Structure 1
Amino acid sequence: MKKLILLIAATFAVASAKTESEITKKMKEFKIIPDIIPNQVPELLKITFDSGASVNMGNEITPSEAKNQPKVEWNADKNAFYTIVCFDPDAPSPKNPSISNLVTWLVGNISGNDIDSGYVLAEYYAIAPPRGKDANRGIFALFKQPSKLNFDEKPIDKYTIEGRTNYPLNEFTEKYGLGGPVAGNFYLTKFDSYVMEVYDMLNCCFEYNEPEE
């Protein structure tokens, strides 16, 4: 009986591995799953910026290319509501992630795939890492809501970092019954000149802009 149970478990594990999406595999490769997102991500979010850059499972995009809110597409249920979040788990830098899970965009109550219909909890700005050798990861995750929600978090405008750092994403998703992401994508980003504009806009973070060692 014990051998049979082990065989069934092994067969299930193999079957599960075969059904992993490409985005799940890539997120495991970049240590996003299970370190940051515990669940598999079944669908790839299509994310394009007006600069022409597109997010593609770990490709590199500069802060300048990602400066404006992107267009996001997915296989939406037109009768459902969604929440999308973009965050930086490495902030300010992979060597010193002291303000990790820095949220740079958060929108809830998105009707179908109409982002503009949603309730903006944190206005968008580009992930802006300081000078350094290692790239930060910018993660987009989409959640399907159980229904239209009444969010009680205070909205955050694009001119402040307050409320964005060390964001309790797990507590947020549990609080509103969001479950695991239904779609996602991510990119890598390093310092460029636009970062200083972001720091100036936020009136913060200049202390992280140390020269590369």
Structure 2
Amino acid sequence: MSAMDPLVLSRVIKDVLHPFTSTIPLRITYNNRLLMAGVELKPSEVVSKPRIDVGGNDMRVFYTLVLVDPDAPSPSNPSLREYLHWMVTDIPETTDISFGQELIIYEKPEPRSGIHRMVFVLFRQLGRGTVFAPDMRHNFDCRSFARQHHLGIAAATYFNCQREAGSGGRRFPPQGH
């Protein structure tokens, strides 16, 4: 991954995931608006779960999708990192997530303070029925979840979300501090 990749610049690679190479197209749309990495969406724009299409051409290959907030409850004190907003498993390649099993129902993002990165991760499963829901939504960990269920990262993206009245961009400390 290049240093200019949005996942690197936003520190999703580091805080949530190890570097990876995307292996499958992932198309996410909220209210018919295509999600581009790093776009800002208000809570009112993400009330309903998005449409998600998985590319590829082999319906015998299955994926798990998670949506996590590594900045919960606030970016300055992410004590609930990574808060799990959604989990769908057993999604066949070439389909949309409605063909998968929703194990953790979609909980709309509602940040109270600061700008939160909302991270979608698509994992390739070893086979159907090999992934199970965690006991809790808070302190989910994508890396250990992937290890536990023998998952490989197939694709990832994210959007920024802050309370309706919020404004301003995400700020990062200079590298090396």
Same fold (TM over 0.5): yes
Contact 1:21–1:41 (8 Å) recurs in 2:
no
Change (3 A) 1:45 1:75: same
Q: CA RMSD in A?
A: 2.2
Give, in angstroms, the shift of residue 175 of structure 1. 1.6
The amino acid that maps onto 1:184 is: A
Pick from 68, 86, 101 the counterpart of residue 105 of structure 1. 86
Change (3 A) 1:150 1:27: closer
Give, in angstroms, the shift of residue 101 of structure 1. 0.5
- In our comparison, the structure showing a higher alpha carbon Rg is 1
Give, in angstroms, the shift of residue 119 of structure 1. 1.7
Pick from 136, 145, 165 the counterpart of residue 125 of structure 2. 145
Matched, 1:165 2:138: yes
Identity %: 29
Change (3 A) 1:153 1:30: closer
Q: Residue 190 of structure 1 aligns with which residue?
A: 162
CA distance in 1, matches of 2:68, 2:15: 14
Pick from 84, 89, 92 the counterpart of residue 73 of structure 2. 92
- What SS is found at the alignment partner of 2:150? coil
Listed as ranges, the gaps of 5+ residues in structure 1 are 1-19, 155-161, 194-213
Give, in angstroms, the shift of residue 121 of structure 1. 1.6
Pick from 136, 150, 171 the counterpart of residue 177 of structure 1. 150
Pick from 118, 121, 127 the counterpart of residue 100 of structure 2. 118
Give, in angstroms, the shift of residue 150 of structure 1. 4.0
Structure richer in helix, relative to its length:
1
Count of residue correspondences: 162
What TM-score comes out, normalization by structure 2 length? 0.81
